[in-house]
Amino acid sequence: MTRQDLLKKLGNKKLTDMFERMFEIRTFEEKIQFLFLEGKMPGTIHQYIGMEACAVGVCSALKEGDIIGSTHRPHGHAIARGIPSREIMAELYGKTTGCCKGKGGSMHIGDIKKGMLPAIAIVGGNIPVVMGMALAFKLKGEDRVAVSFFGDGASNEGAFHEALNMASVYEVPAVFVCENNLYGASTSIKKVLKIENIADRASSYGMQGMIADGMDVLDVYDKASKVVGDARSGKGPTLLELKTFRYCGHSRRDPSNYIPKEEKQSWKKKDPILNFERVLLEEKIIDKSGIKELKDKIDKKIEEAIEFAQNGPEPKPEDTYSDFYVNMEVPR
Amino acid sequence: MKLTIAEALRKAIREEMQRDETVFCIGEDIGISGGFGGAFTVTLGLEKDFRDRIIDTPISENGIFGAACGAAIMGMRPIADVQYGDFLLCAMDQIINQIAKLRYMSGGKLKVPVVMRAPVGVTGRGAQHAQCLEPYFISCPGIKIVAPSTAYDAYGLLKAAVRDDDPVLIFEHKLLYGSKGARSETGGVDASSEIPEGDYTVPIGRGVVRREGEDITIIGSLLMMHYSLQAADILKKEGISCEVIDPRTLWPLDMDLILNSVKKTGRVVIVEESPKQGGIGAEISAQISESISDYLLSPITRIAAPNTPAPFSPVMEKFYVPQPERIADKIRNLLAES
Ligand SMILES: Cc1ncc(C[n+]2csc(CCOP(=O)(O)OP(=O)(O)O)c2C)c(N)n1
Ligand SMILES: [Mg+2]
């Protein structure tokens, strides 16, 4: 689809919504980075800064009943899928008002009722699960699609290969979204992969492979809606590779000294939010004051989310025993 | 020289690699320049001296442990590690079906001298970066399991593990490493020791009495050993004298040491960071009651985590992990009752 057609198809409302979501992810992540470094937030965090176009582009192509699976780096996926920021924030603080009632934490953000499996922090771990969810949709004849997000690093796990092969063989309505940010923790993919494009791996499973520019939300949306549509209409699963980059460290206080400065700088020039903002302004979809209004709104929203989280109720210690077996108390 | 556990392990690995050219390390992010030196800095900088023998891998745990297994059979001495113990589960087939059994299945014709390293401990990361998996492996014949709680033991046990002809799994605790910089841990406990000049090993299969006492025996490894000592400090002020035993090796257990202590005190508490369900406490307790139940003045008592996954919230996490005060309370009550 040409850019103009795409813009027309999406319409002003959806385009600004997409921008808003991307900006919400960026703001959320920047604020918690600060809170974390100040020691106000418990646990560890893996952030999504720089990758916003991936989650928003894909999730904007989904419908209400669809479901996503995510990784140790789930905040962006969760916001893009529509889990309220305040519930994510409260989860990061371990409060009962969090989306997993404080049981999950940063690496397990999700809410099955809102279309997101609690994130799985075992690299590659969500891929077979998502394949199984898609299998259920097929067996039950439901008009739903399951989407797995994972990284370049995860594509070297056995779980990835087993799941993709099975998905292809059973022709399940799934999309496997590989966010290739060129590093798995500190390891450059050049050290651990002999091929250039992870999407090429699709061919070994007789599956469609596709590549999108993960820094361009419109390109991600365009390709994602095509392959989600394929899955929905029974044409089988796709491996969709998004070429992207994370500006932040892998986790916590990682200064990412293993990434050359020039590489970081060259990617920052392709910033997904700045670029999309430029497109929206050029196409007169929104004006400067509209952008400012929207950014102020998001800023306030995240500040409120922090307040909601910090002031939220702590669980009771004995809550450790709740939410486990469906029909049995935890034997003590 | 005073070293942290991370430093002591690094020194031991470096010396073993210098001593024996068949020793190599294989794992994720272990030798990337500008990187972490493994999740907790243990291999930091080693790649500068041993570029070919510090092997950075894709994220492929089954592959890593399979590689270690095959290389070991062919005469190498691999040290394979996971970033968090939880990921051992991704390599379970290689570890349990292959590494632990191949020698037996071959009728003793081959050996599998693999060293495996895995960080454990409940540390603010939620249920999948927290598990203390010792019980899973203790129930699998074929692997020796060690758990150093001091830098002295970490150094000596790592060397013993490398030189052992059988597979050895080393459980290390995230809060005891003393890792520095961006990889440091909140809530860490000082486990550093004076490391003597020159080479030494700590024998596999030998526990140690960390503190002598008369009234009760407390058994705990890794972080729980340190918390047991803290509980013993609390109780000492109240006139209760605790003997604290650090098994150091979890399989085979040093039962002589344990039984002698329990014969002396007549009471025993076993502290573990994993769920009570099917735990190490169950194994130790069964062995005690099988051989010296006559000596017991009160029931064998286990203090363990709840039979649930580790929760994330700090409030629940503190409840989940046995704390020194809880250990002291339990012991106080036990002595009051009997
Ligand atoms: C099975 C498993 N192995 C190792 C890890 C430790 N770890 C967490 S994230 C990560 C890197 C993941 O890289 P990638 O899949 O590219 O995702 P990214 O972090 O780049 O988003 C590693 C090695 C893990 N969580 N699970
Ligand atoms: Mg990556």
CA distance B323 to B224: 8
Cis peptide before B252 (omega within 30 of 0): yes
Sheet of strand B268-275, all strands in order from the earlier edge strand to the far edge: B208-211, B242-246, B216-220, B268-275, B301-305
Q: What is the mean pLDDT of residues B287-294?
A: 96
CB-closest option in A91, A258, A324 to B35: A258
| Residues within a 6 A CB radius of ligand 1 | A 72-73, 121-123, 150-154, 181, 183-185, 250; B 28, 59, 61, 83, 87, 90
Q: Which residue of A71, A72, A156 sits with most ligand 1 atoms within 8 Å of its CB, as the best mutation to test the pocket?
A: A72
If we measure between CA atoms, which residue out of A222, A183, A208 comes closest to residue A58? A222
Q: 0.90 cut: is pTM over it?
A: yes
Chain A hits for B316, Cβ within 8 Å: 94, 102-103, 315, 317, 319-320
Residue B68 lies in a domain: yes
Active site residue B226: no
Q: What is the pLDDT of residues B192-208, one digit of tens each?
A: 999 999 999 999 999 99
Q: Which domains does chain A have, with CATH numbers?
A: 3-309 (3.40.50.970)
In a domain, B200, yes or no: no
Q: What is the pLDDT of residue A265?
A: 96
Torsion of CA B146, B150, B154, B157, to 10 degrees: -50
**Chain A interface, best mutation among B32, B43, B123, B316, by max A CB count within 10 A:** B316
Q: What span, in angstroms and rounded, lies between the C-alpha atoms of B172 and B150?
A: 10
> For position B215, which CATH number holds?
3.40.50.920
User: What are the residues whose beta carbons fall under 8 Å from the beta carbon of A69, sequence distance 6 or more?
Assistant: A116, A117, A119, A120, A126, A127, A129, A130, A133, A146, A147, A148, A149
Q: Residue A44 Cα, ligand 2 centroid: separation in angstroms?
A: 17
Using only C-alpha atoms, what is the Rg of chain A? 19
Under 8 Å between Cβ of A126 and A163: no
Closest CA relative to residue A240, chosen from A133, A164, A138, A137: A164
B71: tokens are 């290389």
Give A213's strand partners.
A243
Report yes or no: B92 and B143 within 8 Å, Cβ to Cβ.
no
> Quick one: B178 and B51 in the same domain?
yes
Residue B10 inside a domain? The answer is yes
Please report the pLDDT score of residue A252 as a whole number. Answer: 81
B202 inside domain: no
- Residue B180: which pLDDT band, with cuts at 50, 70 and 90? confident
pLDDT tens across B205-241, in order? 999 999 999 999 999 999 999 999 999 999 999 999 9
Q: What is the predicted pLDDT for the residue at A328?
A: 97
Query: Could you tell me the pLDDT band of residue B33, with boundaries at 50, 70 and 90?
Result: very high
CATH code: domain of residue B189: 3.40.50.970
Note the pLDDT of residue B307. Answer: 98
Alpha-helical (H) ranges within chain A are 3-37, 52-59, 75-81, 85-92, 126-140, 158-170, 189-192, 217-232, 261-268, 272-282, 288-311
How many CB atoms neighbour CB B60 within 10 A? 22
Instruction: Identify whether residues B216 and B77 lie together within a single domain.
Output: no
The alpha-helical segments, DSSP class H, found in B109-238 are 134-138, 151-163, 222-236
Determine, for residues B34 and A257 on separate chains, whether the beta-carbon distance falls below 8 Å. Answer: yes
Query: Using CA atoms in the order A261, A262, A265, A267, what is the torsion angle rounded to 10 degrees?
Result: -110
- Band of the pLDDT at B189, cuts 50, 70, 90? very high
Sheet holding B23-27, edge to edge: B54-56, B23-27, B77-81, B115-120, B168-173, B144-146, B249-251
Classify residue A154 by burial, with Cβ atoms within 10 Å: 0-12, 13-18, 19+.
buried
* Cβ–Cβ below 8 Å for A43 and B32: no
Question: Which residues of chain B are within 8 Å of residue A42 when distances are taken between CB atoms?
Answer: 124, 313-314
Q: Show which of B151, B169, B194 is a domain's final residue.
A: B194
**All residues at 6 or more sequence positions from B213 whose CB lies less than 8 Å from its CB, including other chains:** B232, B241, B242, B243, B244, B265
How many domains are there within chain B?
A: 2
Rounded distance from Cα A249 to ligand 2 centre (Å): 11
* B225 part of a folded domain: yes
The pLDDT value given to residue A259: 97
SS3 B245: strand
- Would the CB atoms of B58 and A192 count as touching at under 8 Å? yes
> Ligand 1, atom 25: nearest CA belongs to which residue?
A122
pLDDT at position B173 is: 98
Q: Output the average pLDDT for chain B.
A: 97
B115-163 pLDDT per residue, tens: 999 999 999 999 999 999 999 999 999 999 999 999 999 999 999 999 9
Which pLDDT score, from 0 to 100, does residue B153 have? 98
Domain with B258 in it: 208-337
A157 contacts on B by Cβ (under 8 Å): 59-61, 90
The last residue of one of the domains, among B143, B160, B194, is B194
Contacts of B4 (CB under 8 A, 6+ apart): B151, B177, B178, B179, B180, B191, B192
- B90 and B162 share a domain? yes
Residue B338 pLDDT > 80, yes or no? no
Which residues lie below 8 Å from residue B139, measured CB to CB, with a gap of 6+?
A: B278
Of B58, B124, B315, the CB nearest to A156: B58
Q: Same domain for B220 and B177? A: no
**What backbone torsions phi and psi does residue A193 show, to the nearest 5 degrees?**
-150, 130
Q: What values do phi and psi take at A172, rounded to 5?
A: -85, 155
Q: How far is B272 from chain A (nearest CA, A)?
A: 15
Residue B179 reports pLDDT greater than 90? no
* Chain-chain contact of B315 with A94 (C-beta, under 8 angstroms): yes
- Indicate the residue type of A265: Q
For residue B212, being part of any structural domain is answered with yes
Q: Which residues of B touch A320 (CB under 8 A)?
A: 306, 308, 311, 316, 319-320
* Residue ranges in chain A modelled with pLDDT below 50: none
Shared domain check, B274 and B305: yes
Q: Are residues B73 and B168 in the same domain?
A: yes
Rg over alpha carbons for chain B, rounded to the nearest Å, is 20
Q: Which residues pair with B242 in a beta bridge?
A: B216
- Based on the domain organization, do B95 and B51 belong to the same domain? yes
- The verdict on B325 and B256 lying in the same domain is yes
Last residue of a domain, one of B147, B170, B194: B194
Nearest to A103 among B56, B62, B312 (CB): B312
Contact B313 A186 (CB under 8 A): no
CA A53 / ligand 1 centre spacing (Å):
20
Q: Are residues B28 and B174 in the same domain?
A: yes
pLDDT given at position B95: 98
Q: How confident is the model at residue B112 (pLDDT cuts 50, 70, 90)?
A: very high
Please tell me the predicted confidence (pLDDT) of residue B184.
84
Same domain, B100 and B163: yes
Residues B241, B128, single domain; the answer is: no
CA atoms within a 13 Å half-sphere pointing along the CA-CB vector of A168: 18
| 3-state SS class at B187 | coil
Same domain as B213, residue B187: no
Cβ-Cβ contacts under 8 Å for A232 (sequence gap 6 or more): A143, A145, A173
CB crowding B225-235: b at 16 or more within 10 Å, else e = bbbbbbbbebb
- Spatial separation of the C-alpha atoms in residues A229 and B92, rounded to whole Å: 38
When pLDDT is cut at 50, 70 and 90, the band that residue B75 belongs to is very high
User: What pLDDT is attached to residue A253?
Assistant: 86
How many Å lie between the centroid of ligand 1 and the Cα of residue B6? 22
Domain contains B330: yes
Residue B40 lies in a domain: yes
Nearest-angstrom CA–CA distance, A129 and A144: 15
